[in-house]
Amino acid sequence: MADDIKEDKEDVKDEKKDEVNEIDEDEMQEDMPGNVSDDEEVRDTEEQVEEDDSLPFPMATVVRQVKKRTHRKMISSKVKVAMNEFLGDVVSSVANEMGKTRYSMVEMDDFNRATKPYTYARELEKEKERVVGELERMKADLESLIREFERKFALAGVDDLSVLKKSQQA
């Protein structure tokens, strides 16, 4: 029993040493130049936002959304600013279009009408896929009809068709 307690204490010591080593390795990696954690990057972009109030949206929000879809790739500051300005232009355009409503309240119909130019390309692509699929089905049907037609006339000899020609001449 005393041996079991000693072994347990040794196991606990080994685990603590492993944890300390892991923490030291993590700290060393963070301290290395070129290694920037996501938190530090967000803090840096938040500092940029405080410096640059001319942008329409908080830079950290834009960067976070872009990073979700760029799979941990680095994003240059010019791209971050351009994306922020582009989004501001889109919001401005949509808001101006919604403001053209003749009613005193902007409704979802106004929003849908205003965002139509931005969603139309996606809808057009879906329509294209639908039409291409339908044309492919028609093509397959026509090819099967052609094969059936050729099969039927391949069974009938050329002489059988010559009877039709003689009756047409008479």
Q: How does pLDDT run across 144-156, given as a tens digit for each residue?
A: 999 998 888 776 6
Which residues are CB-contacts of 51 (< 8 A; sequence separation ≥ 6)? none
Q: How many CA atoms lie within 13 A of 79 on its CB side?
A: 9
Residue 142, phi then psi, degrees to nearest 5: -65, -40
Give the tens place of pLDDT for each residue, 22-51: 444 444 444 444 555 555 555 555 455 445
SS3 92: helix
Question: Are the C-beta atoms of 80 and 50 separated by less than 8 Å?
Answer: no
Return mean pLDDT, the chain: 76
Query: Distance between CA atoms of 115 and 121, rounded to whole angstroms?
Result: 11
* Predicted local distance difference test score (pLDDT) of residue 167: 60
Cα distances from 164 to residues 137, 153, 158, in angstroms, run 35, 14, 10
* Predicted local distance difference test score (pLDDT) of residue 29: 46
* Predicted local distance difference test score (pLDDT) of residue 163: 56
Question: Are the C-beta atoms of 101 and 110 separated by less than 8 Å?
Answer: yes
The Cβ of residue 67 has, within 10 Å, a number of other Cβ atoms equal to 16
Length of the chain: 170
50 CA to centre of own chain = 30
Specify the higher pLDDT residue, 166 or 107: 107
Specify the higher pLDDT residue, 32 or 14: 14
* Predicted local distance difference test score (pLDDT) of residue 98: 93
